[in-house]
């Protein structure tokens, strides 16, 4: 495992020893504490091949979650692969804001625009068993992953998918709360993102156009014209976009604008 950690360090992986142990845990089916207790320093013969394959993938900056096939988000387990953005801990702030702004009334409907893996929608529906919702996702591959995650959490009766562009979706009028983690990276920045993100997260989930704000302009316009008046909207944003997104929302006539930071202290959510 020490040799593997050295290779991961060479490849620029931030916590190489921890990741080597996690990969060994995946290959062996043992927990990381079992591995430490057993003093496993080298891969046993029967695991050498699978461990080596995983180390090679991680050296190529394949996200750990893609190698494991799952990602943890909001204390839940999601299938994660190249079809959608790997769920990020930062996005948990979107779920927390939604839980605060969602009224206590029964039978409410939420919409998650650009649902990707489905992690935001599913985390909300698991936490609020009285609520139903729709993930709107134009990307067919991402929608197929969301469908698998909905089935994994046995939410078929409360979670629907609309595989179409946001503007073509016909459900806007029955939404009681809208959330979205849209693409918000400026196009020119994409090439300089970490290889883990640049090579393995879908570009369509990242690229927010020349100024990174295309999706917010579209969402604000749709919210203004199609939602019932007073419906809360909650958007994940980039760390430097709070001012711009507030301006877009207020220009679209949305009021009571607020924001929250992620655990790293960066602006991460804006609502109205
Ligand atoms: N937060 C993501 C990243 O760090 C970007 C997600 C997005 O554009 N919605 O790459």
Q: pLDDT per residue over 215-266, tens digit each? A: 999 999 999 999 999 999 999 999 999 999 999 999 999 999 999 999 999 9
Looking at residue 2, its pLDDT comes to: 87
Annotation-wise, does 239 bind a ligand?
A: no
- Residue 110 Cα to ligand 1 middle (Å): 22
Annotation-wise, does 165 bind a ligand?
A: no
Query: Whose C-alpha lies nearest to ligand 1, atom 4?
Result: 197
- Within 8 A by CB and 6+ apart from 140, the residues are 163
> In this predicted model, what pLDDT tens digit does every residue of 193-206 receive, in sequence order?
999 999 999 999 99
- Residue 56 Cα to ligand 1 middle (Å): 25
Q: Is the CB of 88 under 6 A from ligand 1?
A: yes
State pTM to two decimals: 0.95
Nearest-angstrom CA–CA distance, 14 and 17? 9
Q: For residue 207, give the ligand 1 atom closest to its CA.
A: 8
Nearest-angstrom CA–CA distance, 78 and 119? 7
Looking at residue 40, its pLDDT comes to: 62
Q: For residue 201, give the ligand 1 atom closest to its CA.
A: 10
- The answer to whether 47 touches 25, Cβ cutoff 8 Å, is no
Q: Which CATH number fits domain 81-271: 3.20.20.100, 3.50.50.100, 3.40.50.150, 3.10.20.30?
A: 3.40.50.150
Annotation-wise, does 166 bind a ligand?
A: yes
- Residue 206 Cα to ligand 1 middle (Å): 6
Looking at residue 37, its pLDDT comes to: 86
Looking at residue 159, its pLDDT comes to: 98
> In this predicted model, what pLDDT tens digit does every residue of 19-66 receive, in sequence order?
999 999 999 999 988 888 887 667 778 888 999 999 999 999 999 999
Q: Is the CB of 235 under 6 A from ligand 1?
A: no
- Residue 39 Cα to ligand 1 middle (Å): 38
Q: For residue 185, give the ligand 1 atom closest to its CA.
A: 8
Q: For residue 197, give the ligand 1 atom closest to its CA.
A: 10
Of 122, 121, 116, 113, nearest in space to 83 by CA: 116
pLDDT band at residue 163, thresholds of 50, 70 and 90?
A: very high
Q: For residue 238, give the ligand 1 atom closest to its CA.
A: 1
> In this predicted model, what pLDDT tens digit does every residue of 104-159 receive, in sequence order?
998 999 999 999 999 999 999 999 999 999 999 999 999 999 999 999 999 999 99
Q: What are the structural domain ranges in the chain?
A: 2-60, 81-271
- Residue 114 Cα to ligand 1 middle (Å): 13
Looking at residue 132, its pLDDT comes to: 98
Looking at residue 1, its pLDDT comes to: 82
């Amino acid at each position: 495992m020490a040799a593997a950690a050295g290779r991961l360090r060479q490849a620029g992986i931030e916590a190489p020893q921890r990741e080597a142990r996690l990969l060994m845990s995946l290959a062996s089916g043992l927990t990381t504490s079992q591995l430490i207790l057993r003093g496993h320093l080298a891969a046993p013969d029967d695991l050498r091949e699978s461990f080596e394959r995983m180390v090679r993938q991680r050296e190529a900056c394949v996200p750990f979650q893609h190698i494991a096939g799952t990602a943890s988000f909001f204390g839940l387990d999601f299938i994660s692969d190249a079809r959608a953005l790997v769920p990020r801990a930062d996005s948990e702030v979107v779920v927390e804001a939604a839980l605060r702004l969602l009224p206590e009334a029964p039978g409410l409907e939420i919409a998650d625009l650009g649902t990707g893996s489905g992690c935001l929608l599913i985390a909300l529906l698991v936490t609020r068993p009285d609520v139903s919702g729709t993930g709107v996702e134009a990307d067919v591959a991402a929608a197929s992953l969301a469908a698998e995650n909905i089935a994994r959490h046995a939410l078929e009766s409360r979670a629907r998918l609309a595989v179409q562009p946001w503007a073509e979706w016909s459900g806007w009028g029955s939404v009681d709360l809208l959330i979205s983690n849209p693409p918000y990276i400026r196009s020119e920045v994409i090439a300089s993102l970490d290889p883990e993100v640049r090579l393995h997260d879908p570009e369509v989930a990242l690229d927010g156009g020349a100024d990174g704000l295309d999706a917010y302009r579209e969402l604000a316009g749709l919210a203004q014209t199609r939602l019932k008046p007073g419906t809360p909207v909650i958007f994940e944003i980039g760390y430097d976009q709070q001012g711009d997104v507030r301006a877009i929302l207020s220009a679209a006539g949305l009021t009571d604008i607020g924001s929250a930071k992620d655990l790293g202290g960066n602006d991460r959510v804006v609502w109205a």
